[in-house]
Amino acid sequence: MRLGMVIDLDRCIGCRSCAVACKSHNAQPPGTWWNRVFTPGSTFHQAAVGKAGALQMNFLPVSCQMCDNPPCQKVCPTGATYTDERGVVLIDYERCIGCRYCFAACPYGVRQFNWEDPKKAKERVGYKEGYEYGYPVDFRDKEGRLVFTPDRPAGVAEKCTFCVQYTANGEEPACTRGCPGKVRIFGDLDDPNSEVSKLIGKRPSYRLKEELGTSPKVFYLAPTKPIR
């Protein structure tokens, strides 16, 4: 099994619901975003770019690309970053030593560091007392590695896990469920009959920074938006 995702850019409206769903389900502290949506070419989100009156506005959601050749995993000195049996790149929050080599290695800027105790960061922004968000309990993989915990320890790296706490039980990731436009399709790339495999075969797709040879398992269906 190789879990992957197809993101249909033709359907994306740039609403950032996926980023918000991701953020709240995974209890990310203020300033930390596992999932981002921007308007390529534009300084501001939702602002068109172009020249000579020919304007365009597309949106590009980016989270962990779940590379088959993940540089973050190769540089990790302790093996805290690893690929599980379903092809998902995960971080063991109990093994990460916080060296941040993976930040230098990742071409996609998806890795996020706990520069301070996330509880302190949450406290400081002044949420209502007792307010806590996100999946409330720890999740460990089959070998007992801590791959989700609502408040990550200070000084470790974190990133998108394809919502391991849900997808390990056959559910879909929060971004996929939270998308109002059904932009994201999640499934097994090894299964030729899965929707992801079919879409990649049928429609022109690309992966980010293909030239770096990281072989991401997140595929983008190019926005076609015929103008003529």
Partner 1 sequence: MKRSNILMGLAIVLILISLGAWGYQLHKGLIVTNMRNSFSWGLYIATFAFFVGVAAGGLIVSSSVYLFNIEKLKPFTRIASLSAFASILGAGAMIFPDMGRVERVWKIFVHPNFTSPLVWDVIVITAYLIITFLSVYVQLLPDWRKEGRGFFNNWTKKRSQEEIEVLSKKWSKRVALIGLPVAILIHTVTALIFATQGSRGWWNTAVMPPDFVSVAVASGTALVMVISLLTVGKEKFYQYEEAFQTMALIVAGALVVHFFFVTVDLLVHGWWGKPEANEILSLVFGRYGLLYATELLLPAFTMIFFFTKRGKGSFKTLMIGSILLFIGVFVHRMMLMFPAFNAIPLTLAIPGAGIESWAYPIALGQFSEGMPVFVNTWDYAPTLVEYAVALLPFGLVLFVVTAALRMYDFLPQKRVGKHLASKIEQAKAPKGIDFT
Interacting residue ranges for partner 1, rule: CB under 8 A = 29-33, 36, 38, 40-41, 49-51, 54, 56, 60, 62, 71, 74-80, 95-101, 103-109, 111-117, 120-121, 125, 153-157, 208-209, 212-213
As measured in angstroms, the least distance from the Cβ of 6 to partner 1 is 19
Q: Are 154 and 118 in contact (CB under 8 A)?
A: yes
- Angle, vertex CA 207, rays to CA 203 and CA 209, nearest 5: 150
As measured in angstroms, the least distance from the Cβ of 164 to partner 1 is 20
Nearer residue to partner 1 within complex by CB, 103 or 133 = 103
Q: For residue 126, with 0-12 CB atoms within 10 Å meaning exposed, 13-18 middle and 19 or more buried, which class applies?
A: exposed
Nearer residue to partner 1 within complex by CB, 19 or 200 = 19
Nearer residue to partner 1 within complex by CB, 95 or 203 = 95
Position 38, amino acid: F
Of 137, 119, 94, the C-alpha closest to 32 is 119
**Residues 6 or more apart whose Cβ sits within 8 Å of residue 101:** 75, 76, 77
As measured in angstroms, the least distance from the Cβ of 167 to partner 1 is 23
Instruction: State the residue for tokens 């609502």.
Output: 150
**Residues 6 or more apart whose Cβ sits within 8 Å of residue 163:** 22, 25, 26, 171, 172, 173, 174, 175
As measured in angstroms, the least distance from the Cβ of 162 to partner 1 is 19
Nearer residue to partner 1 within complex by CB, 190 or 205 = 205
Nearer residue to partner 1 within complex by CB, 68 or 190 = 68
As measured in angstroms, the least distance from the Cβ of 96 to partner 1 is 7
